[in-house]
Chains A and B, each alone.
Chain A
Amino acid sequence: MSRKPRTCIEIEADLVAAATGDAEPGAVRRVEHHIDACAPCRGEFRRYREIDGVVGALRGAPAAAESVARAREGLESRLADLKSRLVSYRVFPSPLGHILIARSELGVSLVEYLGEHTDLGASRLSRVTGVDPQEDGAEIEALHRELLEYLRGDRTRLEWPLDLRLARSDFHRTVLQATAAIPYGAVTSYAGIATEIGKPAATRAVAQALRWNPLPIVVPCHRIIGTSGALTGYAGSQIGLKQRLLAVEGVRAMGTRHDARVARNTLYHYDRNDQHEYCLPTCGDIARRPIGPVTLLASRELAGSLGLVPCTACRPDLHPLTV
């Protein structure tokens, strides 16, 4: 068996590439030069050209259009399923400890205080069924930034699309929706929300629903307190967090960690009336009436934005609260 000359061995890769239309111009020139003088390689070159012709024919579809369509149909259904389960999340530090934010295709589905923890295992996301959590910084980045602005007091609204899938029932969803309507700087009570949703006797159920609020801060359950003004619970027993969130909005609370109450004498009061008048806390006995029917307001600007006018008796416009 005759051995191939070294030059032929060395040029083989270029020859194959050139014959199959896959070589750099320099290599093509070298190959052309070589096969001009070398008959066996010229034959090889021709042979690879022929093979390339057959290879080109492989480009015709190996699969019938209907099997492509069937695969596509299956994909659509699996994608829809994935989309409905997939939530992307991220844990990040904040002045209130680590916070996890998760969102689905539909909107933000979870905001959770994790305290010292930074891992998914500490989150309720790891325990709910039918949810496929995926860490995804990019998705959550903008939400994270807005939340920090909010906590600094540089932003008064978080206009996020919400996905209430983690609410435990339709009743809970109704409560969350009513709570989401309470504006920045306003405070009402569990009883007030119960009345609002047409179930005045369901105060305790409202409190339970808010205890399981999957979207604290965004659905501002910190603006909902006891009728007496007591802050009651928050994120377990973290009344301090509630106090801080209210303080950012200009709602002050006094007292101990276990018995904190909003300082009603520092807030404007609105007891529903046909004239839409809001009052100073010193107007008659208004500061002793239960919160719920009475809404507390941090500022006159807020009262104005809600379409309220100063009471003609106590004149909050002439004697604004200075504390």
Chain B
Amino acid sequence: MYRIRFHGRGGQGMKTASRILGTAFFLEGFEVQDAPRYGAERRGAPIFAYVRASKEAINERGIIKEPGLVIVADDTLVAMPAAGVLQGVTEDTVILIVSVIEAELWKDRLNFPGRVLTVIPPGEGQSHERAFTGGAIAGAAARLTGAVSKASLEEAIREELIPLGTKVVEENLEDALSVYEFMAEHEGCVAPGTAIAVEGFTPPNWVELPFEDARLSSPAIHAEATSEQIKTGLWRTVRPVIDYELCNRCSWLCSTFCPESAISVNEDGFPEIDYEHCKGCMICMTQCPPHAISGVLEREAKGGEDNET
């Protein structure tokens, strides 16, 4: 059974990738499960999706704990514990990272004995507007398993994406086929895992809670502003940077417009950005009257100490 896990950020097309790959496997005669998993997270937040495919009936359910292939569409997720990129990987797992950093370096950094591959995002260095499409990710997975033909991949993309219009279909096809070719030398490097026997199933570590009345059991929060502890700055791919030479201390428009309350005004009337919570929407950049705020790609941002923890 193939077990493939996709990690990305909300909006990057991981759900789409899982659907395309699932459909492609189905067209090849496999039994398939494909599903995204996301909870209360949004565009920019770490999410994952997964696909199981097998020639036999699939009795496994739920999230994939022992992936044969892990694809990471955004390399900033690797260092983020919440993203759980490395969860359950073994030396037989193949990890594919969309990154400009070389595979060998990733292998070292992760101290990972198995195979690490990378693919460079398209348009690198030109724009942060368009990331990899879901089609590209599905194309990579298809080739690495060696179990999906080009024709099935193409048909799956058309089938899944036609409601989104021909332009989306064409973009995805182009990306998918180019990555499918790019991965040719690694074709079939992902080996199918064996099905997990029922006997080997370990139940989850559920905590049994006794029934209490509402006064005790309702989830009441007795403190204010606790969401401060959630570092939504990790969602950010572009960082707004204020040029204080240009800032004219207007009536803190950037701070007023910032949906996240992540821009405060200091005693001297200058705005300060809280990078622990800024999600990088860049409204401040577009609304600053003297254009004192610019956008810097997060991985190129200097002094990124706020974001390292």
Bind each other: no
